[in-house]
Amino acid sequence: MTTLTAYKKHLQEIGKLESAISLLHWDQRTYLPQKGLAARALVLGKLARIAFELLVSDKLGHYLEELETQDDLSLEEQASIRVVGKAYRRHKSIPPDIYEQFTIAQSRSESAWEQAKKTSDFELFRPHLQKMVDFSRQFAQLYGYETNPYDALLEEYEPGMTTEQLRSVIEPLRKKLVPFIKRLREEGTRPRTEILDGTFPIDKQEELSLRVLKAMGYDFSAGRLDTTVHPFTISTGPQDTRVTTRFIGDNLFSGISSTMHEGGHALYGQGIPPELHWSGLDGGASFGIHESQSRMWENMIGKQLPFLKFFQPILASVFPEFAHTRPETLYNALNTVTPSLIRIEADEVTYNLHIMLRFELEEQLINGRISITDLPEVWKDAMKRYLGVVPKDDAHGVLQDVHWSTGMFGYFPSYMLGNLYAAQIFAKVREEIPDLDEQIANGKLVVLLSWLRKQVHRFGKTYEPQELLQRITGERLNPSYFTRYITDKYSQIYKL
């Protein structure tokens, strides 16, 4: 057996374990009975440790050392060795015992967060969050960093990005968004939204979501749709990428938007070619690039007039009260700008402010500049500074997101980057598909999917995010595409 063959076989063994772990995570967040949580944490801890030990094994290290000197490898093989090699060296610094303890604590923490959110009881969650922060600080020290421990965590989600680079994007973006939001509120004509009021049975909402996913090109023979507290998408292995969503009885488009968002993630997962499966490349180039796909489908398709022209007859067939509603009326109503408490319900204009807030707080948490005990009040103060609204309780404030419960510090910036990447990529889509709006209005959403398959999905992790963006658009990250998209769209809607 050649070293390359042995290397690929080793990665397959890791992939099989990760597949089982993903399935158990999916079950825990969808159907697992409450009393099964304690045992599930131990099972996940054990499987995660076995996979982790394979990832940091000396055997894999020897394979990598030998293969890194070979010059006859394919582009994909070279990329696999680069990506796996980085993960190997990064995680080699963490003792397996600590990783198993972290995985067990992670599972317990997520369950505690779910209960705490239901009862709006931060104190129930506080000790678990403290453990996640402590583990994250410990990991940052073990990974190593030059100036800021937060950089070591950020690398996990957005390779090559640093705290200072983020700040260099955030500050000018905030200086443009905040005055524009003020101008919309003070000078603009706010669209009427009463057309969206009503009570909408959950089973019919689910029917709509299934039809939308099908129109987007989602392959139901390689996935499924379920509901959960906090929507997510997960690949449990090759040809199995699952979508979850959340329905609200009096907010019809919340569920549709959530489904399109998660569907965007899922289409990326389903678009990874078979030759990249279990190679270390069978994922998105980064979490930000992944988020660009979900935000593009949710906002640049789902909340645009061409899609609503296609969607309105489908909507009316399920909810007859929309039979005489013009697509233009839906478009205006769906694109109002209101500073809100909940990130996942935020409009396109204010959304990034939610991310800036979370970046600020978690960077301070990791550096010990704020304490866990003070976090609920610090959150309220930050909400007032960034968005001018204050949560009435912790469920609508510090407890609203699942991410910190699983120790995912460094993840939130990828949401903002995803918006910026999406606008830049979508500008290229419009350039290369000039009749895109007409095609979408006629229900041919797959024209966009085909373009994304060719330009984004098929590469998996072959290229790092900035390199991939350069290949797609001809330049690295340029936030001006996002600000231009936002100001053009909402100036027209608000009649500025």
Active-site residue, selected from the candidate residues 18, 76, 155, 262: 262
With 0-12 / 13-18 / 19 or more C-beta atoms within 10 angstroms meaning exposed / middle / buried, residue 394 is: buried
3-state secondary structure of 226: strand
262 a catalytic residue: yes
- In Å, how far from its chain's centre is CA 398? 18
Which residues, 6+ apart, have CB-to-CB distance to 322 below 8 Å?
195, 312, 315, 316, 330
Determine phi and psi for 230, rounding to 5 degrees. Answer: -125, 105
CA 32 – CA 40 distance, rounded (Å): 9
CA 237 – CA 277 distance, rounded (Å): 8
CA 328 – CA 208 distance, rounded (Å): 20
State the DSSP code for 234: E
CA 151 – CA 163 distance, rounded (Å): 6
Structural contact between residues 467 and 476, judged by C-beta atoms closer than 8 angstroms: no
CA 130 – CA 151 distance, rounded (Å): 20
Structural contact between residues 290 and 265, judged by C-beta atoms closer than 8 angstroms: yes
196-200: long-range pairs with CB below 8 Å, 24+: 196/251, 196/252, 196/253, 196/333, 196/334, 197/250, 198/250, 198/252, 198/321, 199/249, 199/250, 200/249, 200/250, 200/252, 200/319
What is the DSSP code string of 43-93? HHHHHHHHHHHHHT-HHHHHHHHHHTT-S---HHHHHHHHHHHHHHHHHTT
- The residues that are catalytic are 262
